[in-house]
Structure 1
Amino acid sequence: MFASLGVRNYRLFFSGQIVSNIGTWMQRTAQDWLVFTLSGNDPVALGVAVALQFLPTLLLSLWAGVLADRIDKRKLLIAIQSGTLVQAAVLGGLTITGAAELWHVYLLCFVLGTLSALEVPTRQSFVAEMVGKDQVANAVALNSSIFNLARIAGPAIAGLAIVAVGEGWLFIGNAVSTLAVLAGLAAMRPGELYRDRTVDRAKGQLREGLRYVRGRPDLVAIMLLMLFVSTFGITFFTSLAVVAGNVFGTDADGYGLLSTLLAVGTFTGALLSARRGSRGKPTMRLLLGASMALGVLEFATAFMPTYLAFGLALVPLGLATITFLNTANTLVQTSVSPQMRGRVMGLYVLMVMGGNPVGGLMTGWMAETFGGRSPFYIGGAVAMIATVICVLALRSASARRAAAGASAADEEAEMGGSAEHVEAGSAPKN
């Protein structure tokens, strides 16, 4: 289950991520609650903050993938993480001094989104560089496990700390935790990386990456499924604050507990993915099954009558969600050319996160118009429909390939028969 931790460079990366991800989730929880309180518990304002944080992904993730193929990924990550540290420190300083206004948080959400749009494709494509292709599945799953372990600890700490000391100190804590990532990256041995030759700067590299994906029906199916499920289905990370405050009338600690219960499921799912990753590559069938399970569970969760029942339902929902995300990530990373990995992961990140500006605004609008539970049942329905459409499209593509193969075989047989006929007819007579 922990095979990739035998690689020193990855072990350094993994250790830094444990600390930093807790800080990240503390900041994310505190940021959502800060927006929610500064706006007078307005779900639309929370949706705007999410949209601003993810809008740069629409603009930059494809270009970031090209950049990751061109530049030393380790050095690029050091620069990006340094910017993240500064963003958290500024937000913390404004909040602690009481100077923070809603527009300040909006602006810093956009800054964080810009850094994230550059960081995610680079970090995800860097995984294979640290451990090699054979251990990518295990390393991706372990990354997810620490991310979701932090999702358990971070919101739980944040929910209590917001009440005790306020949001500002959580932002400062995240800035300090980023130092762990920077230290791990700096301590790596570049000579031990499984580094592929960087791609020389040239025109048309972005279009080349898009053509590569377009020529792979399996990648097209994964990308489109990710787009619809992420945009419409996986919005509950944002809508939990609305459910906690407006549906069940709890405070920040109640919101933190819901986030923690969701994270219990995602952490469990990540550990199961790590176990599968040590045994071999995941399958498209697993991806589609996890997507359907996500939709069904999210739809059912929307109708849980009590706070406790709703919270407990988040555990299996989290498990299905992380199984879906990890399986898609691993399928993409292990099936692409190393020279294309950065660009393909840039497109993948665009599909996963690019719809969040629309999803964030839509979630806020739905919660205000149809009630706080609506993002769950609408999102679950969309995830189920998208999965069914994807299954039908893959079957259709498979049937077309089979028909094309049969046609080619018939043509070859016919041509062979004609050749024999010609040869027989042209033989000299005795």
Structure 2
Amino acid sequence: MLQSLARYFEFEQLKTNWRTEILAGVTTFVTMAYIVLVNPAILADAGLPLPAVTAATCLSAAFGSILMGVVARYPIALAPGMGLNAYFAYTVCIKMHVPWQTALGAVFISGVVFLLLTGVGIRQMILRAIPHELYAAVAGGIGLFIAFIGFQRAGLVVRDPATLVGLGNIRNPTAYLSLLGLVVMTALEVKKVRGSILIGVLAITGLAWAIGAAHWTPTPGGISALTQTAFKLDIRGALNKGLLEIIFVFFFVDLFDNLGTLVAVTKRAGLLAPDHSIPRLNRILFADATATVVGSLTGTSTVTSYVESTAGVAAGGRSGITAIVTGLLFLGAIGFAPFIGIVPTAATAPALILVGSLMAASITEIPWTEPLVAVPAFLTLITIPLTYSIANGLGFGIIAWALLHLLTGRIRRQDWLLYILAALFLARFIYMGNG
């Protein structure tokens, strides 16, 4: 049985094994388990019952990750997306006074649109239209983005009214434990210790509890709570209210966040084909689109691929088993949601910083002495962390690429879709005013 599964998941070709894949799956889960606490807290502000959203968050993440692992066989985990959940709660429900049931209907419609576009090959065409030089910039930009999130969670980077950001208090336990964790994980990584990130996370967790620097507040949950949100979405209401703008935002941002994440994870794992294409792309896109539909049915906002999957990849994960293990842990988290907070931020923050630093290696593939390529790549690289959005960074890069090639007479007929994407991004930036 295990041998048959190993053949299906191509262990031999990928040079991996069960121990590595399981460790990688646990590592991915540990680095993104915060979503079990954060997503319900955000959506509860929109009026959704906290216990129900907690269960829906775990269930949708489990379904999406397992589906990705089984069908697409990639080490990519899914969960309700950060950013889109805030847009759902604070813009759609609170600012626009749209009932959460209607907003869930809009998420469902966007997921169906994903499936339709995947079925006819439009999403695949979009991914192929992006120049491979921007792939490297996206991967590097996401690395900076992940590291920036890690620095914030560690308290090493804080808000500053004069300069936007500044250095936090190093004497804060979370800050110095995070720095210690980074040193431990890096040292283990240098020594090529398998599971170095997970070992570091567990070590800092134990130390944090030992010195009293960890705090845990049980959160409500349980599968029975799902009855409060499951199948409560109002699809007809979303259509009748003409929420095209909302559906467009859910679709547009998730589309390009997903594409950016896919590029980053597959590139970091060395799974891109020689022609820079992503094997089994249809299956990847089918998995994330289906997960969004299921997520809306259970009672949560758009489900998307998570950049934290790169933590599992950095731990050696190469096959779908990594995603399946992460999904099974999310499934178990439905019953153990009150215990998720045992792992402190100080233990997961250094993992994000380390992964981000490793992903930055991809920028060496960019020809920095050629302005025609370097400027769009740099805009992509820098705007992802500065605007807190993969989609914004990719948008700036594509627009710059199209404009520079157009103005210098380097336009090619086969790049027609790239120019359409640039026009759509430009229209989005003008219409929405910001990301």
- TM-score, length of structure 1 as denominator length: 0.28
Q: Which structure exhibits the higher relative contact order, with contacts defined as CA atoms closer than 8 Å and separated by 6 or more residues?
A: 2
Greater per-residue helix proportion = 1
The higher radius of gyration belongs to 1
